């Protein structure tokens, strides 16, 4: 088990391993408009593009996307099972450790996103993932990340 898996499945985080509780928490904390705002103002996807969503969780972003080729990757199989139940064939949902992706996606995506999970990785893993994300992009593609965290004073 990697550090980020242990962090989310033990102690006070254990209830968030439940996909429904995680979804409820996300709605209460972020509200429904946060993802829509991010999509419309920063990701700006266009119909027909290809998007890779790293650390996709429940894939709720699909509610705000135009028709495109969507691939979501997360290590939480229960989140992905819920996403498959909700979104069916609107995307491809892969259960993998995103820090260990190979070259299978090189040059395939117009957009790569990494939302709300980088704080679970150490600095070296974030740098490596950023470099790998660039390799997954088509020429002219874009990498969009947001990771709001509270800093200790």
* Residue 32 domain flag: yes
* Residue 151 domain flag: no
Task: Report pLDDT for 17.
Answer: 54
Contact 61, 83 (CB under 8 A): no
* Residue 26 domain flag: yes
Contact 58, 79 (CB under 8 A): yes
Domain count, the chain: 1
Q: What is the tens place of the pLDDT at every residue in 33-68? A: 788 899 999 999 999 999 999 999 899 999 999 999
What is the CATH number for 94? Answer: 3.40.50.150
In which domain, by residue range, is 66 found? 3-146
* Residue 153 domain flag: no
* Residue 133 domain flag: yes
Q: How confident is the model at residue 15 (pLDDT cuts 50, 70, 90)?
A: very low
* Residue 35 domain flag: yes
- CA-nearest of 70, 78, 71, 62 to 98 is 71
Both tokens of 6, joined, read 């242990």
Task: Report pLDDT for 1.
Answer: 37
Please provide the distance, in angstroms rounded to a whole number, between the alpha carbons at the two ends of the chain: 31
* Residue 57 domain flag: yes
* Residue 49 domain flag: yes
């Amino acid at each position: 088990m990697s550090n980020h898996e242990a962090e989310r499945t033990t102690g006070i985080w254990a209830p968030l391993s439940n996909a429904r509780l995680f979804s409820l928490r996300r709605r209460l904390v972020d509200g429904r408009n946060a993802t829509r705002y991010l999509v419309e103002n920063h990701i700006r996807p266009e119909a027909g593009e290809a998007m890779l969503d790293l650390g996709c969780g429940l894939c709720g972003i699909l509610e705000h996307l135009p028709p495109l080729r969507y691939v979501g990757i997360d290590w939480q199989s229960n989140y992905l099972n819920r996403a498959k139940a909700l979104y069916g064939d609107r995307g491809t949902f892969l259960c993998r450790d995103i820090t260990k992706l190979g070259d299978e996606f090189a040059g395939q995506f117009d957009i790569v996103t990494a939302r709300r999970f980088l704080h679970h990785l150490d600095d070296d893993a974030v740098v490596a993932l950023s470099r790998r994300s660039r390799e997954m992009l088509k020429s002219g593609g874009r990498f969009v990340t947001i990771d709001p965290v509270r800093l200790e004073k």
